[in-house]
Amino acid sequence: MAERAATYLGDDITAALAVDSTPPSSKLSPGDWAKTNLFSSAANTIVTAIVAVAAGLLAFFALRWIINADFAIIRANLRIFMIGQFPREELWRPWASGYVMILGAGLTAGAMARNSHELALSQELESVKEGWGQLLRRFWPIIAASIFFVSFARTVMPYIGLAAAYVLVVVAREVGWRLPAAIRERALFIGVALFIVAMLVIAGTSRLGGYALGLVAFLWALSELSRVESLPTGFAGTAVRFVVALVVAAIVAIVQNLIPHDGFGWEDWGGLHISLFTTVIGITLGMPFGILLALGRKSNLPVLKTASVIFIEFIRGVPLISLLLFSNLMLPLFLPIDFERPADLTLAIIVVTGFSAAYIAEIVRGGLQAVPKGQTEAAQASGMSAAAVQRFIVLPQALRAVIPAMVGQFIALFKDTSLLSIIGLLEFLRVSDTSNAQQEFVGKGLASVTYLFVAIGYWAFAYTMSKESRRLEAKLGVGHR
Amino acid sequence: MSETQAINTDATQVGGTGKVMIDVVNMDKFFGDFQALKNINMKVGEQEVVVVIGPSGSGKSTLIRCINRLERHDRGSIVVDGVELSDDIKAIQNIRRETGMVFQSFNLFPHLSVLDNITLAPRNVRNIPKAEAEATAMELLERVKIPDQARKFPGQMSGGQQQRVAIARSLAMKPKVILFDEPTSALDPEMIKEVLDTMKDLATEGMTMICVTHEMGFAREVADRVVFMADGEIVEVGTPEHFFTNPQEERTRLFLSQIL
Ligand SMILES: Nc1ncnc2c1ncn2[C@@H]1O[C@H](COP(=O)(O)OP(=O)(O)OP(=O)(O)O)[C@@H](O)[C@H]1O
Ligand SMILES: [Mg+2]
């Protein structure tokens, strides 16, 4: 409904998220467990033995390799791996930006967890606040990887910085949990706004930043106004809402522009930072576009339908690399001469957004088809308009059905950001090559060290996403339907 | 009781208050080449309860789905409360607002709470303020005797409870007519009664209803008229008593012998 602007998913999902879905662990002693699982039959015993020997050998060689490996290359390049070519005197920016982001994430996560918790309680479902132990288990790959990364630091600063980050997460989550209900309901807006502010801390205030913050303010104002029931209904009410929201957006954008804060242009961003950054942008922008494309593909208007189909099928029909190259080499040729060439990262973000939108569109289409016809009919029979039927009945059910597939797409997108190196961006994987080309390390055959380091980075985030997706699946399987 | 008595196939003599609520004239409906409804003529009066029976595939669902335009009829005319059904989407939506529908498979919205299921259309279509819509919803839940289920989700309720929520949902739009398509066919026997009781209450309160149902006990108690359909045609029309004691057409007798 209108006042629940933040979620398309419906209350039963929100509540289900708070219900513990972990199956009760079996109470076997280690000996019994081994007996039933490892040595239950002759065949099983042989398999266990073979795998054990192989694992032992692997561990032995891995350990010997690690002991002999020279990690100096990581130590020398840690900063580049993380954030690219940031000058030392600008280092405060990524740190400050990271803290703002962590603050936003912690607040939002805490507030939303509390919302789910309250809702579950109101439905008489069992719900307890998630303990820190559980959170540790959920996010251990990222936590472990961050500690692993910092362990290569040559100064004490990063250690302190990381410790402070974790303290901030804990505090922010607790604060978010305790916020008053009225603020908690708007947590998503706060989270998104803080995310953009975090970006602006690095990039500086700009017209683009104004648009981004203005958009958030616009959506927020719209959702606030939709709660006001004294406004006239129909076209007049809609017009009033839009105008007021636009004014709010304009004020926010202008205030943002007035703040004098020079930035560090994002042509020079790099490392794990842009890998994560493009993924997050690709997901958050690709989602709404993807949903619109999926609806467009189902539309009765031939123009809309054809345009959606062409876009989706074209993007899905060619490799991401070719799209990146096209945007980088060809697109500027089509632009007017006096048009300032957009930064590589800007082009990359546009391509990645379009790319993920096309894939998300196909996933959503599957979900739309899975919604039973009776749902649409029941809604139509009550006199709802076609748009309202989609908005309130079809989309919420379609989207929930495709959450796992969607997360799979996000993971793929994250790994695909390694292709950004093709157009000269210094993303995470590319740093491995550039550091091996440095004078002191060239020809020393250290690529295996840097690749291992990078692999651990990718794995930590991809595996966490995959774990979270399975957790979500288990939760949504609880109770209803 | 004589064998010469003519079979009554005229479904256009209205009962109720005498005011015509639904008027179907010479209506045909095709699915591709297959004619699902053949020259249907039927009137339903205000406050009248009409029960439609007939074998599977005879076109009962298609008939009532044409009345609120879930299916588009091909020939003839359908007028509901003075508004003719055409391709005009505004007219269609106006008719749908006044016409509730209850489905065999409930079709509650699984992602919305019972309260939201009931208040969605009034708020969205009629622009009723939230508080008022919820107050009405609670009254309706009271009326279908499950006020304690308001916060639950459809998946957490029994079939009988779900169907009663579906009835409350259609009542929330304050319709002038309610169309029932085999509302008890998907229910376990012990839940059929609670739904039929709710429907009987509605009939007693003067709601205009068309019910596709094979519950002849219900028909006997509340129906003003029973319409028997076969092969897309109206075959026989009469009072419930007529069908129990004196069905004329061979197909009617055969059908009744199977369901009674
Ligand atoms: N969408 C459709 N496309 C093609 N044929 C259809 C469609 N809907 C119904 N029919 C056909 O029209 C005829 C009448 O169907 P209808 O569902 O109205 O029967 P019914 O009397 O309600 O039967 P039941 O008691 O099984 O519900 C059937 O032969 C059916 O196969
Ligand atoms: Mg039917």
Q: Is A477 on the interface with B (CB under 8 A)?
A: no
Which ligand minimizes its atom distance to the CA of B180? 2
Nearest chain A CA: its distance from B171 CA (Å): 10
Task: Kindly determine whether residue B169 and residue A380, on different chains, have CB atoms separated by under 8 Å.
Answer: no
Mean of pLDDT values over B58-68: 96
The per-residue pLDDT for B81 is: 94
Q: How far is B95 from chain A (nearest CA, A)?
A: 8
pLDDT (0 to 100) of residue B60:
97
Q: For residue B159, what are the contacts with CB-CB under 8 A and spacing of at least 6?
A: B106, B186, B187, B188, B191
Every domain of chain A with CATH number 1.10.3720.10 lies at: 265-447
DSSP H or E stretch at residue A65:
helix A42-68
Please report residues of A whose CB lies closer than 8 A to that of B101.
377-378, 381-382
CB contact under 8 Å between A377 and B103, yes or no, is yes
Q: How confident is the model at residue A269 (pLDDT cuts 50, 70, 90)?
A: confident
Tokens (6 digits) for B203: 């009939």
Query: CA torsion angle for A196, A201, A202, A208 (degrees, to 10)?
Result: 50
Res. B2 pLDDT band, cuts 50 70 90: very low
Chain B CB within 8 Å of residue A379 CB: yes
**Does B180 touch chain A if contact means CB atoms closer than 8 Å?**
no
3-state SS of chain B: helix, strand, coil percent to 5? Answer: 40, 25, 35
**Averaged pLDDT for residues B63-85:** 95
Contact (Cβ atoms closer than 8 angstroms) between residue B139 and residue A466: no
Which protein residues have a CB closer than 5 Å to ligand 2 (ion)?
B 61
Please give the residue of chain B at the shortest CA–CA distance from A121: B151
Contacts of B175 (CB under 8 A, 6+ apart): B97, B98, B99, B100
Please state, in angstroms and rounded to a whole number, the distance separating the CA atoms of residues B69 and B62.
Answer: 10
Sign of CA dihedral A322, A325, A327, A329: negative
Residue A184's pLDDT is 92
Q: How far apart are CA B122 and CA B131, in angstroms?
A: 11
User: What's the confidence (pLDDT) of residue B5?
Assistant: 61
CA distances from A252 to A149, A220, A224 (A): 38, 12, 16
pLDDT at A481: 39
Which of A10, A234, A378 is the closest to B103 by Cβ? A378
Length of chain A: 481
> Is B101 a residue whose pLDDT tops 90?
yes
Would the CB of B31 count as within 6 Å of ligand 1?
yes
Q: Of all residues in chain B, what percent carry a pLDDT higher than 70?
A: 98
- Residue B70's pLDDT is 96
CA of B91 to the centre of ligand 2 (A): 25
Chain A residue closest in CA terms to B105: A374
Q: Are B31 and B56 contacting, i.e. CB atoms less than 8 angstroms apart?
A: no
Q: What does pLDDT average to over chain A?
A: 87
Using CB atoms within 10 A of its CB, is residue B105 exposed (0-12), middle (13-18) or buried (19+)?
middle
Mean pLDDT over the full length of chain B: 93
Domain covering A265-447 in this structure, CATH number: 1.10.3720.10
Question: What pLDDT, on a 0 to 100 scale, did the predictor assign at position A353?
Answer: 94
Mean pLDDT of A147-172: 93
- Report the Cα B87 to chain-centroid distance in Å: 23
Q: Per mean pLDDT, which range of A101-115, A219-233, B196-210 is the poorest?
A: A219-233
Q: Do A130 and A475 meet the contact criterion of CB atoms below 8 Å apart?
A: no
Measured CA to CA, the distance from residue B167 to residue B162 in angstroms comes to: 9
Torsion sign over Cα A345, A349, A350, A352 = positive
Quick check: A191 pLDDT over 90? yes
Residues 6+ apart with CB under 8 A from A155: none
Q: A9 contacts in B (CB within 8 Å)?
A: 111
Report yes or no: B148 at the A interface, CB cutoff 8 Å: no
- CA distances (Å), B157 to each of A126, A154, A392, B79, B114, in order? 18, 62, 22, 37, 10
Closest CA to A223 of A246, A241, A206: A241
Does the C-beta of B259 come closer than 6 Å to ligand 1?
Answer: no
Is it the case that residue A9 has pLDDT exceeding 70?
no
The 10s digit of each residue's pLDDT in A118-146 is 888 877 777 888 888 888 999 999 999 99
Residue the block writes with tokens 């062409």? A310
Token code pair at residue B44: 């339903």
Sequence-ordered list of residues with C-beta below 8 angstroms from that of A217, at least 6 positions apart, any chain:
A193, A245, A248, A249, A251, A252, A253
Cα within 13 Å of Cα(A254), Cβ side: 6
CB neighbours of residue A469 within 10 Å: 18
Q: Does the pLDDT of residue A24 top 70, yes or no?
A: no
How far from A220 is each of A191, A447, B172, CA to CA, in Å?
Answer: 12, 48, 31
Q: How far, in Å, is the centroid of ligand 1 from the Cα of A118?
A: 46
What is the side-by-side order of every strand in the sheet holding B208-212? B99-102, B177-181, B208-212, B49-53, B225-230, B233-238
Cα A245 from Cα A222, distance rounded (Å): 6
Tens-place pLDDT, residues A393-414: 999 999 888 888 898 999 999 9
Greatest Cα pair distance in chain B? 61
* B173 close to A (CB below 8 A): yes
Q: What is the pLDDT of residues A80-111, one digit of tens each?
A: 999 888 888 888 888 999 999 999 999 999 99
Q: Would you call A374 an interface residue with chain B, using a CB distance cutoff of 8 Å?
A: yes
pLDDT at residue A478 tops 90: no
> Is A9 in CB contact (< 8 Å) with chain B?
yes
Chain A, window 234-273: residues with a beta carbon less than 8 angstroms from a chain B beta carbon: 234
Compute, in angstroms, the gap from residue B38 CA to the centroid of ligand 1.
13
